Amino acid sequence: MKLTMPRFDLAPVLVVGDVMLDRYWHGTTSRISPEAPVPVVRVDQHEDRPGGAANVALNIAALGAPAYLVGVTGQDEAADALTDSLRAAHVQVRFQRIAQQPTIVKLRIMSRHQQLIRVDFEEPFDTDPQALASDTAAMLAGVKVLVLSDYGKGALKNHQALIQLAKARNIPVLADPKGKDFSIYRGASLITPNLSEFEAIVGVCADDAELVAKGNELMARLELGALLVTRGEHGMTLLRPAQPALHLPARAREVFDVTGAGDTVISTLAAALAAGEDLPQAVGLANLAAGIVVGKLGTAAISAPELRRAVQRSEGSERGVLSLEQLQLAIEDARAHGEKIVFTNGCFDILHAGHVTYLEQARAQGDRLIVAVNDDASVTRLKGPGRPINSVDRRMAVLAGLGAVDWVIPFSENTPERLLEQVRPDVLVKGGDYKSVDEVVGAQIVQGYGGEVRILGLVENSSTTAIVERIRNRT
């Protein structure tokens, strides 16, 4: 499955569900309490993070997608903190505030990156279902996906009304389910239970075949568009009516904390679907995002640059020979990390010491080096019959193996001007055989958008043509 980075900026998503505030108190621990056999934590840092449905909305916004959120809170300091945090992340919120009830707060006391205890402040909300549906209907206009983020805390009491509101507008509905009655999600486009939640409904599954069989039966019974079962270290299983099961392996390099992983999955799924990705590709992206978030501490959002870099790794485009599409993705990611892009080009028919020195000098002009290589036909046009000595695939493979080179791409024209217009490097460099910047092909293009053109020193007594002539004279 080939993954690409969607246009999340064109993917508005509405989240409705149980919002909460995740509070973290951090401190040092150096002694045991004389009152009880528990550690004493000297708190020196406080941190508030949106949790539950609020974390789903925050994840959507972190990917660069327009995020909207409907939920229920109290009228208290925690609700204000939650609102301020979400608005700072550009999430548009509409909360039903209920007096005399606390906003749900989950307090975690941490020391040396370890959770020592969690304290929950919550009461089931006495939500007004009609008001929640009215708020949802008001915010559905213009969004492309509705997410029901259900933590069983009382905000969602009218699942079917919300599903029907969205379906009447042809808006897909994704639900992260809770509880032992999944019939409340009937007609949803997709539900995303974890394995324990799924087995609580259908019974224990001895193997993949039984999971698939029971999942298909559940989809038919509840008229679901699809079912995604998240399975921890065993990855994910996507089921769709009348289609083969899709099993995806876990992508986590190291599992540090699974808090909020389900939120990351459904938020990435929703944003990807809203951006026009088909379901398998959206699930693949969600699987990558889950692999990132479990390596973080606590509830955390995955940013677009983080996901983009994971996509690059999965597609083998972090370094080496790339297609234009892969290169543009790699450049976008590098720029998101504040890296300067350097570009050079040539035939590089027989790689020699002069080339290596020149490419090392070129790489020193920035953070990432692109080497564009003339294809075989253009080398013949430029150098004459009998050239190139080495095919373009072999030339690119050798260049990609150099430590100074990040990305290699071929081009078929005599000059790289069209490629320069497409990739827009920050710096264009050429060797010292040029007398002035004005002689460099593509200089006007790069300078036109504010880039730089630099001429590097010439490495003496290094020439592919001279090497070829010496070889021919010996035969």
Distance between CA 470 and CA 475 in Å, rounded? 9
Residue appearing with tokens 């009447």: 168
Distance between CA 15 and CA 270 in Å, rounded? 10
Confirm if 368 and 407 have CB atoms less than 8 A apart: yes
Q: What is the torsional sign of CA 422, 428, 432, 437?
A: positive
Distance between CA 375 and CA 348 in Å, rounded? 10
196 is an annotated ligand-binding site residue: yes
Neighbours of 130 (CB within 10 A): 11
475: exposed, middle or buried (C-beta count within 10 Å: 0-12, 13-18, 19+)?
exposed
Q: Which two tokens stand for residue 104?
A: 């749900």
277 is an annotated ligand-binding site residue: no
Q: Torsion over CA of 47, 48, 53 and 55, rounded to 10 degrees?
A: -40
Exposure string for 437-457, b = 16+ CB within 10 A, e = fewer: beebebbebbeeeebbbebbe
Who's near 168: CB < 8 A, 6+ residues apart?
none
197 is an annotated ligand-binding site residue: yes
CA distances, 359 to each of 132, 247, 344, 379, 459 (Å): 61, 43, 8, 20, 11
Chain Cα centroid distance, residue 416:
31
Confirm if 143 and 173 have CB atoms less than 8 A apart: no
Nearest Cα neighbor of 299 from 28, 139, 148, 82 is: 82
429 beta partners: 454
User: Would you name the residues annotated as active-site residues?
Assistant: 263
194 is an annotated ligand-binding site residue: yes
Element of type H or E holding 128: none
Q: Which residues are annotated as a binding site for ATP?
A: 194-197
Q: Which residues are annotated as a binding site?
A: 194-197
